[in-house]
Structure 1
Amino acid sequence: MIKWIAWLLLSCIALAASAQEQRSLNFLVLSYSPDVTTVLRYHNLVNELAEKLPNYQLNLKVVGSDSLEEQVDHDQYDLMLLDPVHYLRLRSSGSLSGALLSLRRSNDGQTTSLMGGVIFTRKQNQHIRLDNLYQYPVAASAPEFLENYLAQIYELKSLGLHIPSEAALVQYDDAEQVVRSVLEGEQETGFVRTGVLERMAREGKISLENVRILNQQYLAGYPFLISTRIYPEWALVAQAQVDSEIAREIAATLLGVSLTGEEALNYGIYGFMPALDYLPVENTLKELSIAPYEARTLGWIDFLKSYAVYFILANIIAVSLIFLSWNTYRQNQHLARLVRKEKQAQVMLARSNQQLDALLSSSPTVIYSLDSEHFNLKFISSNCFNLYHKAADEIKKTRNWWQKSIHDDDITRVLANFRQWRVDGFVGTLIMTYRLLRDNDWIWIEDRLQALRNDEGEVTLLVGAHSDVSDRHLNEEQLELWASVFANAREGIAITNPAGDILDVNSAFSRITGYSRYEIIGQNPRILNSGRQSKEFYREMWRQIVGAGFWEGEIWNKRKDESIYALNLTVVAVKDTEGRVSHYISLFSDITRQKRNEEQLEHIAYFDALTGLPNRTNLTNSLAIQISYSAQYGSKFALAFLDLDGFKEVNDTFGHDTGDLLLVDVAQRMRDTLGQGSTVARFGGDEFVLLLPIIENMIEVEQKLERLLVALAEPFRVSGATLHISASIGVTYYPQNRVIEADQLIRQADQAMYQAKISGRNRLKSFDLSQEDSLIEQHRFYEELQHAYASQQFSLYYQPKVNMRTREVIGYEALIRWLHPTRGVLAPAAFLPAMTNQPLELEVGHWVIKTALEQIEAWQKQGSLQAISVNLAGYQLQQPNFMSELQEIILGFSPEVVHSLELEILETSAIEDLAIVSGVIDACKDMGIKVSLDDFGTGYSTLSHLKELSVDMLKIDHGFVRDMLDDQNNLAIIKGVVGFADAFSLEVIAEGVETHEHAKRLLELGCELGQGYFISRPMPAHRVLEWYDEWTQDSDERKECAN
């Protein structure tokens, strides 16, 4: 892919100059794995861009990272396309200018100049997480590149997690091999750059459904799967010697090129944009100690050069001490002849020693001396206890006390410095800073050593001084830390004096505002004023700063290029020791993209993405406002519910894409017909809600809606096809003679629309207020059902299914019951119709499946693995996400439990949408779940379509079984179903076996499986195993059904 970009850039730049004069430029492109065939692949792109830049002739060179620096050193290249790591590495040598452009990539119509890393595994590897990733081998290619390996490693490090060892890295030649090695089970995890998975999926090489992304980031508008933070894309750079005019011409030309060719589409390449800031890459490389930012230790000489400490007093004292000792020695030699002078000298010496001890005792600096040959401690001042918490005698008696007390991280450096000073002849003052042990803690010591020499220049003594510099070292570390924060912070920082003059800014300030440090220093922050905030806004801001000492909020400012940007700003007043403001510090971050995203999200939240019409949420708000306005001012309005007739047939015949285009045209035609003042909202699917003001009377509204019916009945021309649909509309009005809420109005209009549907479609019906009481009661009962579900009042009962010939129990059907607190146990017919086609029906349906699985698992633990069948509502079956939700439910159960689950689908549901039901059945069978067709025989079209439904069992409707003994028609239907099942090699079971006669007759017809009251009534789960024991030892009458 990189070599394709290289050829693209070569083509773009080689065609950039005029045809009259060509200039030769050498162009180098870095590639993950260079080869000739990769470059030759992109001749078509060269032809596509040949007319863009005809004046330059380029010599292309594609190299790998292992030979990049050698190529740059030996050959002269003018332009280079480099990844961020190698760009920064070469830039540090000073041979490159700044980046000219940054690469842009695209995916599904979205473009970006940002990249990152992807951490992935197989979909079924649910046990692999970020925190245990280091336990598995990691597949990667070209790990020296940020996007292939380093970004993922940094992400793990920044999260405080274990990093895979170098031994765990398994290198492949390219990213596609990495992906295949993981998906084919050769490796468990892999690292690739963003865009690789999408490209392989687009080319049909993999399916993203088989891939699980670890640490997936969801970035608004970002077109690729990503696991790490984002970094700028590859950079186009020029050597320092390239003429700036040529560089600008080439950059300007490339900025105007957007690539749409087949090769560009395959590799997601879109073009270029102005160079991004590569500071995030620098920070990451510094954290990982990657060249050119390898960690290095600051030498003690470099660190201490900026400090000067004077030893004049210590040197004078030491020299005086030596001189007095030498003088005393001479006096002792002349003792016999100079008794008086010796006594005077002794007095003077004692007096000097007293003064010296007094002086040293009050000094924070410890004076010591070493002999010049073996460097043994000769003298240490008595004030050493104050510094070391050890007496002078104890120190002298401890062998090598000094070396034993220095910190392990400092001792090697200190000894090396001392040895070097000795090699240099003890010239000058040796200054060292290191940590010294005091009690159980470490203090920072500044050690200054000088050599004393005799008249011949020979070193006779080493004199040193120790000073405690712990506080100073701490202050210096804090200053360095704050300086680093100021310089490297991603947020803009500005410091002003009390008058508002800007004293200093950091690089992020310049990057965000466009003003350089030299341009902005001395200016007032008013230069950034966008005019969007009022004077009162700023007055209130300063009132808070003066009163509370800080202000925080969002404002809009203006950059140097006049563009407006949003920022999150914090202003803090800094006060001196006397409580007066000495400075103001402003800290801000650019949130323009966030604000734009919020606007987009707000639009998405309130408008339909397909038609652009207000959505259900928007409608609810608008309707509430309209009701409030009507109540306040006495205005009237109509609310209409519109459902398209024939839209499902369009979807089934022409596909959903055509259906979507039709909905867009329908929305536009409704807007054009109703005109301004009316609101058209998409309620869902092919349903719309209309708000129409009543200017004069209701007839005016009805006439407008009749015109809408006529308009929608006109043919639509979509995707070359002529489509015919119509609409059914229900309308209600506000105000009414009772208090009514928004959702009640919608239900009224919906009910009226339903009446229009059953009356023949393509017509308008007004809501009959006499039906309101019934609707209110339905609504109340539905709310009671919601409360019952939330209060766990629903329970599953189980009815056995047996082989009536062998008495073998083949499973149980789960039947829902409502354990009503006052009405007792209620059968499904008493409450299920009220939740038909409602959200609660879906919630209860999922609960039934999960509860049945839990019961299978519970019986399995008791040593009895039993099959359970559950009924699926047609509304639940037709949900687009039914299979994904079913997979999520069964995820936590063993295969044995899942394979014991059976699903029963109503025959009428299967007929309504044969394609959807057939797909669901096939998917269920792939998961090991059996499917049966319930109430078989009640759908007249089933026999002609049964061959399209790969069900396992047919269930004869209980109505036919119940009346089979008295009604020959029902008996004939049962015979036909049994014969039909036999022809299709399907199992058949009869429900509604209520008597011994029913069982015997069914066996005679060849139907051996049955369920019903004769066998057992539905029972709670705790009664099932007890019933099973009773069934195996049951009465002779029931045993007869097997004879």
Structure 2
Amino acid sequence: MEATLLPEINRRVLAGEPLKRILQFICEQSVEIFDAGFVWIGQKERDGRIRMLGAAGSAGHYRDELERIGIRWDDDALAAGPGGQAIRTGRTVHTAVLDPDFEPWREQALAAGLHSVISVPITVGDRVLGCFSLYFRHGQDLIGSKTMLRIEQIGERICLAVERMLDRQRIHALSAALEKADDAVFITDPSGTIQWANEALAIQSGYALEELIGQSPNILKSGKHDRPYYDRLWQTVLKGEMWIDETIERNVRGENYIVRQTITPILDEAGEIACFVAIHHDITERKQTEEKIRRLAHYDSLTGIPNRALFYDRLHQAISLGERHHRRFALLYLDLDGFKPVNDLYGHRCGDAVLRISAGRIAGQVRSSDTVARLGGDEFAILLHDVTEEHAAHRIAENVIEAVSAPMNAEGQQIEIAVSIGIAFFPHSGRDADALIHEADRAMYEAKRAGKKTIRTAAFQNR
């Protein structure tokens, strides 16, 4: 269930499903995945309240108690809870029901069998818009870092869903404004010469109206479509049929933009084409948002390198090619040494900067054909294609250690960390993805036990 949740959230967001329905789905799935007693997602209101947009769990009656008592994010006493703290600080809050700050809701929570809470802020850009809160029937000491990471990953998808909704609202507002101005509209004669255009086209293209009149629409050509594309367009409209398609145009500044183009032939009384009416609806922002969502599904939002999903996809491809063509490759599993104290001493912003710098340094030590991915937290992996010798993979690992261990400036702090690396080889360490990851991970932990800046190679198996 967990493996399909994030892609399903992305699918629902791309499909334009209402936000409240997506948030309710996330709450219901999170209850199952994390065995939570109660899960809710709330929106920060201007008057200081937190309004629930979705909730689920066997302790669902606790929702009525929360709403009766109240939940806030401002400086009120009812803002001291995990949700209010997460919104005020912009950080994940992990607390126990017995914590003094939880006093206003403690009796009701204990009556519902709830003992600990995690609340993740929902942010878009620099703004905190709400929180994602999970209540558990066990104490906070039973919730490990991996569970926290998984919860925060779902929190990231909630942020993206909210951002997508806001983008859709902006696009809708823009669309409504354009409809009042008839979008960008121009009329050509049967030969395609522009006879009339509205102000929206001038704004969209950057050309003055007097520059557009008498010109061919070719003035907007971006060069992104081939000759057959325009042949199909003309064949369609010359038959008297409407043409609707997405077209990449270019404005006067040389910048490309994307429109949903509708061209309608207008016939005279004799049934001959008298003119063409073209409507250009700008969909550039929507396309960029969709691309952002697609990229987020495969790339780590913090470092910009491939994420776990894309890494596993490429690992499976490498195994298939290796089996088919008898190719050997190496998998390196990396864990940063000394990263946790950075977060503890200097905060998560500094820690995030260290992760970004480290990712760049690791990627700088491999070929563009290889894959460097962030698997989560401070764990990374490298897929080295066509590495036939153990010493070659070992040399790259040494280069990575040297690069990562160099002093770095993160958020104004001079930081020095290290990295431990485990190496596994296909097919000698394993013939499937899970086996290779397991062997490389085990070798990495052997390296960590041996000390910082250490490399260990997984034992070859008789397979």
1:584 counterpart SS class: strand
**What does residue 123 of structure 1 align with?**
49
Give the direction of change, closer, same or farther, for the CA distance of 1:508–1:712 in structure 2 (3 Å limit).
closer
Whole-Å separation in 2 of the counterparts to 1:519 and 1:711:
56
Give the direction of change, closer, same or farther, for the CA distance of 1:708–1:636 in structure 2 (3 Å limit).
same
In 1, are the aligned partners of 2:329 and 2:388 still within 8 Å (CA)?
Answer: no
Q: Shift in Å at residue 573 of structure 1?
A: 2.6
Q: 426, 433, 437: which one pairs with 1:734?
A: 426
Relative contact order higher in (CA < 8 Å, ≥ 6 apart): 2
Whole-Å separation in 2 of the counterparts to 1:713 and 1:183:
43
1:593 counterpart SS class: helix
**What does residue 88 of structure 1 align with?**
none
**What does residue 498 of structure 1 align with?**
190
**What does residue 250 of structure 2 align with?**
558
| Letter of the structure 2 residue corresponding to residue 541 of structure 1 | L
**What does residue 542 of structure 1 align with?**
234
Give the direction of change, closer, same or farther, for the CA distance of 1:652–1:693 in structure 2 (3 Å limit).
same
2:318 counterpart SS class: helix
Whole-Å separation in 2 of the counterparts to 1:561 and 1:516:
13
Q: How many residues align?
A: 321
Matching of residues 62-101 of structure 1 within 5 Å? none
Q: Shift in Å at residue 695 of structure 1?
A: 4.5
Q: 750, 759, 762: which one pairs with 2:441?
A: 750
Matching of residues 448-459 of structure 1 within 5 Å? none
Q: Shift in Å at residue 543 of structure 1?
A: 3.1
Whole-Å separation in 2 of the counterparts to 1:490 and 1:208:
34
**What does residue 455 of structure 2 align with?**
764
Q: Percent identity?
A: 31
Name stretches of at least 5 consecutive residues in structure 2 with no aligned partner.
1-43, 54-73, 77-127, 132-160
1:752 counterpart SS class: helix
Whole-Å separation in 2 of the counterparts to 1:491 and 1:125:
37
1:729 counterpart SS class: strand
Deviation per residue, 1:608-644 (Å, 9 max, x gap): 3333322223323433443444455443221111112
Whole-Å separation in 2 of the counterparts to 1:666 and 1:221:
33
In 2, are the aligned partners of 1:490 and 1:589 still within 8 Å (CA)?
Answer: no
In 2, are the aligned partners of 1:642 and 1:729 still within 8 Å (CA)?
Answer: yes
Deviation per residue, 1:448-476 (Å, 9 max, x gap): xxxxxxxxxxxxxxxxxxxxxxxxxxxxx
Normalised by the size of structure 1, how large is the TM-score? 0.27
Query: Greater shift after overlay, 680-689 or 514-523?
Result: 514-523
**What does residue 587 of structure 1 align with?**
279
Q: CA RMSD in A?
A: 4.3
Q: 338, 341, 346: which one pairs with 1:649?
A: 341
Whole-Å separation in 2 of the counterparts to 1:676 and 1:731:
19
In 1, are the aligned partners of 2:171 and 2:285 still within 8 Å (CA)?
Answer: no
| Letter of the structure 1 residue corresponding to residue 241 of structure 2 | G
Q: Shift in Å at residue 690 of structure 1?
A: 0.6
Structure possessing the higher radius of gyration over alpha carbons: 1
Deviation per residue, 1:283-310 (Å, 9 max, x gap): 9xxxxxxxxxxxxxxxxxxxxxxxxxxx
Give the direction of change, closer, same or farther, for the CA distance of 1:528–1:642 in structure 2 (3 Å limit).
same
Whole-Å separation in 1 of the counterparts to 2:440 and 2:298:
22
2:265 matches 1:573: yes
In 2, are the aligned partners of 1:532 and 1:556 still within 8 Å (CA)?
Answer: yes
Whole-Å separation in 2 of the counterparts to 1:713 and 1:564:
43
Matching of residues 672-751 of structure 1 within 5 Å? 672-674=364-366, 677-713=369-405, 715-716=407-408, 718=410, 723-735=415-427, 740=432, 742-751=433-442
Whole-Å separation in 2 of the counterparts to 1:754 and 1:503:
73
| Letter of the structure 2 residue corresponding to residue 123 of structure 1 | R
2:439 counterpart SS class: helix
Q: Shift in Å at residue 688 of structure 1?
A: 0.3
2:235 counterpart SS class: helix
Q: 218, 222, 226: which one pairs with 1:526?
A: 218
Q: Shift in Å at residue 588 of structure 1?
A: 1.3
Deviation per residue, 1:130-166 (Å, 9 max, x gap): xxxxxxxxxxxxxxxxxxxxxxxxxxxxxxxxxxxxx
Q: Shift in Å at residue 714 of structure 1?
A: 5.1
**What does residue 354 of structure 2 align with?**
662
Whole-Å separation in 2 of the counterparts to 1:548 and 1:689:
57
In 1, are the aligned partners of 2:430 and 2:461 still within 8 Å (CA)?
Answer: no
Matching of residues 192-211 of structure 1 within 5 Å? none
Deviation per residue, 1:35-64 (Å, 9 max, x gap): xxxxxxxxxxxxxxxxxxxxxxxxxxxxxx
Q: Shift in Å at residue 517 of structure 1?
A: 4.5
| Letter of the structure 2 residue corresponding to residue 591 of structure 1 | I
1:500 counterpart SS class: coil
2:308 matches 1:616: yes
In 1, are the aligned partners of 2:429 and 2:459 still within 8 Å (CA)?
Answer: no
Whole-Å separation in 2 of the counterparts to 1:551 and 1:757:
63
**What does residue 930 of structure 1 align with?**
none
In 1, are the aligned partners of 2:429 and 2:458 still within 8 Å (CA)?
Answer: no
In 1, are the aligned partners of 2:328 and 2:388 still within 8 Å (CA)?
Answer: no
Give the direction of change, closer, same or farther, for the CA distance of 1:704–1:559 in structure 2 (3 Å limit).
closer
Give the direction of change, closer, same or farther, for the CA distance of 1:548–1:227 in structure 2 (3 Å limit).
closer
Give the direction of change, closer, same or farther, for the CA distance of 1:611–1:548 in structure 2 (3 Å limit).
same
Name stretches of at least 5 consecutive residues in structure 1 with no aligned partner.
1-117, 128-181, 185-206, 211-216, 232-278, 284-484, 773-1043
1:765 counterpart SS class: strand
Deviation per residue, 1:658-698 (Å, 9 max, x gap): 32232233223323444655432211110000111345422
**What does residue 206 of structure 2 align with?**
514
Whole-Å separation in 2 of the counterparts to 1:657 and 1:600:
23
In 2, are the aligned partners of 1:123 and 1:209 still within 8 Å (CA)?
Answer: no
